[in-house]
Structure 1
């Protein structure tokens, strides 16, 4: 709303003058400048809110990136003297307060295991948003999770084939005999390390690419990490989707449908929220 008023400030001034509204305090040029600078400071929060409120794409993995960028934008405003533009003193105080609150609110966000796993499994970011110490910790955690997925498949058994079962006169005898040599059984942890290191060595994709499409094309290469993606990357950063569902439920329970039971309301709300996925 504040941004809209700033954009139409000429119309606002003219309307107040024409209507002769004396109860409204006329804003001075410095006040309009303050409103404009406030909009600039809050723009990064607006972008973050709009993006993180989505429910059709992966949001949890981008939380660390967005928080870092918010801090960067606010820090750039505080250091704007070097660029030649000087904000109002009250704007600097406002931005400094925003930066302090952002630091305190998200001080331990890198320690959040759910956010860390989602960030790691996003091929657009992987370990990049984290500090070096957090990268090592998260990598160890991912190895444990991948090893657990491997353990669920059961023990890996090698089938030993005796060389005596091959025909020495066959042209493939040497090849078959080589394959008959017993192979070492690799532990789940070792297999997890191999898969994770291979994933980390893959090139990071563009921010505009879809991570789930990437996993769809690479699920056979990273089968155990793909299972983790399906289980861990469905987390939303905000409760906006729940609030949208509550709003839709308000249309279901109307004055003419006040006798609906709890069970029926749950069923109708579920169908309303998932109707695009249901084929009748």
Structure 2
């Protein structure tokens, strides 16, 4: 959204044409390899932009800037491609774009993952962008400053929604690597109140579920009796003792608050540790908070997982499978994504 500029459109458009010119000619590819060896440049192939792949435009720009001298040498030797040579204005624009977008590239890849927790890292990364990586510097060109400012404005507005902000705050607190590290004092108090509210709700639901199950069992037994049982079964001694002992199993607000305080004040986990494994080990110490962590830390930070699922569905439902029923398609997509050989 921040890269909407005529100068950028022109420079990127020329870059795509250059990549296409080399991609459709094996002679130019051979000449490029020779130029790379002559100039001592890495023997890398050019990369084209793909609208469905995050970061592909930035990778294309980086590769064009890396191979700019070799590309110019090859294009200048052929009069049919000299018009594709990047001008100094184009190179300056691409440099400015690359300087602004390069810090985001690795984070984009990291947030697109599915095998580890990502939602809890949103708040720390946003703070890092605002305070360091996307902070405007005096050495930045005017275009780089404009791009950085536009990116920060867009990201900050996107995560200022109350529901989204509450979600990322909860996830950050429930990650043992961060907890309250990235909260102000007022934010820390507010998020603790939200956690306490959710913990009490979870505990009350757990109690009502247990009560509902215990009430359902005698009903089913009564149905069986009415359907042909000869006599009413006698109660065993254990049936008189199966009810909860009052004052022993009730989880009070004081106990929940004590558990939360103990969790918040305990030493933070290593920044490289897996929070899911950490919770697996420490569930005994924080049984109620671990249930809350299981609820929030499974949420992906981006829509990449859903986009991959749509791609999988497109690969499953081919022309030869156009008559499949929806239920069959759902099962095939599920097996394709989850069945490990």
How does the TM-score come out when normalised to structure 2?
Answer: 0.65
Alignment of structure 1 residues 166-245 onto 2, 5 Å: 188-245=252-309
Find the partner of 1:259 among 323, 333, 336: 323
Alignment of structure 1 residues 59-70 onto 2, 5 Å: 59-70=118-129
Corresponding residue number in structure 2 for 1:135: 188
Corresponding residue number in structure 2 for 1:173: none
- The DSSP-based 3-state class of the residue aligned with 2:177 is coil
How far the C-alpha of 1:95 sits from its partner, in A, is 2.5
More displaced 10-residue stretch of structure 1: 222-231 or 94-103? 94-103
1:126-171 superposed Cα distances (whole Å, 9 cap, x missing partner): 122222211111001111222233334549xxxxxxxxxxxxxxxx
Distance, in Å, in 2 between the alignment partners of 1:230 and 1:104 is: 28
- The DSSP-based 3-state class of the residue aligned with 2:175 is coil
Corresponding residue number in structure 1 for 2:201: 148
Query: Structure 1 residue 248 and structure 2 residue 312: aligned?
Result: yes
Structure 2 gap ranges (5+): 1-59, 209-246
1:178-220 superposed Cα distances (whole Å, 9 cap, x missing partner): xxxxx89976211110000000111111221111111111110
Corresponding residue number in structure 2 for 1:35: 94
Find the partner of 1:9 among 52, 65, 68: 68
Corresponding residue number in structure 1 for 2:156: 103
Corresponding residue number in structure 2 for 1:171: none
How far the C-alpha of 1:90 sits from its partner, in A, is 2.7
1:225-253 superposed Cα distances (whole Å, 9 cap, x missing partner): 11112222211111111111111111211
- The DSSP-based 3-state class of the residue aligned with 2:301 is coil
Partners of 1:44 and 1:73 within 8 A in 2: no
Distance, in Å, in 2 between the alignment partners of 1:26 and 1:254 is: 41
- The DSSP-based 3-state class of the residue aligned with 2:323 is coil
Distance, in Å, in 2 between the alignment partners of 1:207 and 1:258 is: 48
Change over 3 Å in CA distance of 1:37–1:54 after alignment to 2: same
Distance, in Å, in 2 between the alignment partners of 1:63 and 1:102 is: 11
Distance, in Å, in 2 between the alignment partners of 1:113 and 1:106 is: 9
How far the C-alpha of 1:110 sits from its partner, in A, is 8.5
Partners of 1:147 and 1:191 within 8 A in 2: no
More displaced 10-residue stretch of structure 1: 39-48 or 266-275? 39-48
Corresponding residue number in structure 1 for 2:165: 112
Structure 1 gap ranges (5+): 156-182
How far the C-alpha of 1:115 sits from its partner, in A, is 1.7
Change over 3 Å in CA distance of 1:87–1:227 after alignment to 2: closer
Distance, in Å, in 2 between the alignment partners of 1:222 and 1:187 is: 13
Change over 3 Å in CA distance of 1:104–1:92 after alignment to 2: same
Partners of 2:171 and 2:297 within 8 A in 1: yes
Number of residue pairs matched?
A: 244
Distance, in Å, in 1 between the alignment partners of 2:206 and 2:158 is: 41
Change over 3 Å in CA distance of 1:34–1:87 after alignment to 2: farther
> RMSD value over aligned CA atoms?
2.5
How far the C-alpha of 1:259 sits from its partner, in A, is 1.0
Instruction: Flag the structure with more relative contact order, 1 or 2, with Cα contacts below 8 A and sequence separation at least 6.
Output: 1
Partners of 2:199 and 2:289 within 8 A in 1: yes
